[in-house]
Each structure stands twice: as structure tokens, then as C-alpha cells.
Structure 1
């Protein structure tokens, strides 16, 4: 009797989950296909059956973030003022960072992910478009520094072990309060 085989979609999800855990521990460059295979208890060939390269795995890990950014962008684009669009973008980035804590922190801090974004124009354009949304039409260099500081702070806060026990709602409320104070000063 043949051994039951998991559906390809489920197997891909397992590879992405294992890769995410390892990327968080070792970084993208420090994680090998062999490490992912060993985590799953399968051969490297099994991992390569799902993804041709480690870059493809890294992109699959990042995809939920980009899906959420596109969704936030679509909502914000329907709003009439730059301020309203920025408010939606900031609220959305807080929700995104909380919902995808582990993914967001792997993506945000890993140099290999930055290199990957720079070699995939559609990803770079998505990030630039979202940055433009947060900054508004008449932004200055100081505005860019402020938004970079703010978004880095959001990601850093969600990764901080000292807030690990905060509920998502509690952390969201606290971050939104801080963001409102910060953006009011801009």
C-alpha cells in the first residue's frame, strides 16, 4: 500500500513555517536548505520539490506582509486627505506588525531580505509606495527620518521580549497612542 502524501500546498506551508523559525534564529543567510529539511524530518529534495531556491522560500515567508501592505494601501487610497491616508497606514502597520510579529521582525532586520527586496522590483516598489503613503506629498528629509524611526520602533516594540506577555489588543492600543503623539509632533 502506498504511503499517503500531503498535498503540495500543505507541504509548502510546512516548509515556510520551518524556514521562518530558522530564519528568526539564524537569519536567512545562516539558514540552509538542509537545516529546513532536518527541521521537517525530510530530505533536501523534498524541500526543493516545493521551492527551487532559498530565495523563493524567503519570498514566501515575506508574502503575508506584502499582501497586508497592499490591502492597507488599497484602503488608504480611497481616503480624501494625506492625513487620513497616513493615519490608516500607521494603524495598518501596527496591526501588521502585531499580527505577523515573527515574520515582520525577520523581514525588517535581515540584510539578506533587504538584498532580496532590492533584486525584486515589485517588492521594492511596494515598500516605496507604502513609504510615500505614510509620508504624504510634501515630505521632507526630516519627515522620512521620523517615519523610519517610527516604523522601526513599531517593529522593535513587537519583537521586544518585555512586551511578549501583552495581549495583542493591549499592545495595539499602546502603540496607537504613542504613534498619535509622535505624528502630532510632525
Structure 2
């Protein structure tokens, strides 16, 4: 009797889940395709059938995050003022980072992932669009530092073990409140 074969979509998801677990434990650069294959109990060739490289796997893991960022940008880029675009974008980013908490905790600050995203035209364009919305037109140095601090702070907070006991809804409520207050105090109206 023939053994049932999983669909390619299901197999790809299994590879992505195994890769994310290994990336969390070893970082992207410390994870090999062989490690992913071993985790799944398959050959490296089976992993290659789904993805041509570890870089392709890492980009596939972050794709849902970037799809959500692009959706957020389509909304915010229609707003009439720079302040409205920034406020809605930051609120959306807080929600998005919490929704993708697992991916965010693995990839934020990883130099290998940063390089992959910077060298991928699609993801770089999305990142540039997000930066344009958050910074607004002709940002001064204080605005650039404030947005950088706020973005890093939200990512760091979501991934901080000290507050890992907070559920997503409570953390989102607190972060949205702090984000709003921070923007009001630290980023001048344009």
C-alpha cells in the first residue's frame, strides 16, 4: 500500500515552522538546511524541493509580516496629513508586531535577516515606504531619532522576557497608549 503524500503547500509550511524554531534557537546564520531536514525527518533534497536556499526560507518566513505592512501602507498612504499617516502607521505597526510576535522575536536585530531584507528589492521598497510614512516629509534629526527609538522600543518590548506574561491585548493597549504619548511629545507636527 502506498504511503500518503502531503501536498506541497503543507510541506512548505512544515519547513517554515521547523526553520522558525531553529532560527529562534540558533539564529539564521547558525541554522543549516541539514538541521531543518533533520528536524523534519526528511532528506536535505526534500527541503530543497520546497525551497532553493536557506535565504529563500528566511524570506518566506517574513513574507506574511511584509504582506501586512504593505496592506497597512495602502491604507495610511491615502490619509491627508503626515501626522495622520504616522499615527495610523505606528498604531498598525504595534498591532502587527504583536500579531507576528514569534517571527519578530526571531528576526528583529538579526544581521543576516537585515542583509536579506536590504538586498531583496520587494522588501526593501516596502521598508522604504514605511520609513517615508513614519518620518514624514523632510524629517529633522530629532524626528529621525525619535522614530528610530520608538520602533526599536516597540520591537524590544514585545520581545522582552520581563513582560512575556502580558497577553497580546493588554500589551497592545499599553503600547498604543505609550506610542501616542511619545509621538505627541517627541515628534513635532508638520
TM-score normalized by the length of structure 2: 0.95
Aligned equivalent of 1:11: 11
Give unpaired runs (5+ residues) of structure 2.
Answer: none
Instruction: Tell me the CA shift for residue 24 of structure 1.
Output: 1.3
> 1:139-154 residue pairs with structure 2 within 5 A?
139-154=139-154
Runs of 4+ in structure 1 over 4 Å off: none
Aligned equivalent of 1:138: 138
Instruction: Tell me the CA shift for residue 11 of structure 1.
Output: 0.5
Instruction: Tell me the CA shift for residue 2 of structure 1.
Output: 1.2
Deviations 1:29-48 (A, max 9, x none): 00001111111111111111
Aligned equivalent of 1:170: 170
How many residues get paired?
A: 186
Give unpaired runs (5+ residues) of structure 1.
Answer: none
Aligned equivalent of 1:111: 111
Instruction: Tell me the CA shift for residue 107 of structure 1.
Output: 2.4
Instruction: Give the distance between the partners of 2:71 and 2:129, measured in 1 at CA.
Output: 12
Instruction: Give the distance between the partners of 2:28 and 2:85, measured in 1 at CA.
Output: 33
Instruction: Tell me the CA shift for residue 60 of structure 1.
Output: 0.3
Instruction: Give the distance between the partners of 1:98 and 1:180, measured in 2 at CA.
Output: 17
Aligned equivalent of 1:99: 99
After the TM superposition, which of the residue ranges 15-24 and 102-111 deviates more from structure 2?
A: 102-111
- CA RMSD of superposed structures (Å): 1.0
Aligned equivalent of 2:71: 71
Aligned equivalent of 1:45: 45
Aligned equivalent of 1:58: 58
Instruction: Tell me the CA shift for residue 105 of structure 1.
Output: 2.5
Instruction: Tell me the CA shift for residue 124 of structure 1.
Output: 1.2
Instruction: Give the distance between the partners of 2:180 and 2:119, measured in 1 at CA.
Output: 34
Instruction: Give the distance between the partners of 1:13 and 1:51, measured in 2 at CA.
Output: 11
Instruction: Tell me the CA shift for residue 106 of structure 1.
Output: 2.3
Instruction: Tell me the CA shift for residue 67 of structure 1.
Output: 0.4
Instruction: Give the distance between the partners of 1:3 and 1:179, measured in 2 at CA.
Output: 53
Q: Secondary structure at the match of 2:74?
A: helix
Instruction: Tell me the CA shift for residue 103 of structure 1.
Output: 0.8
TM-score normalized by the length of structure 1: 0.96
Instruction: Tell me the CA shift for residue 53 of structure 1.
Output: 0.5
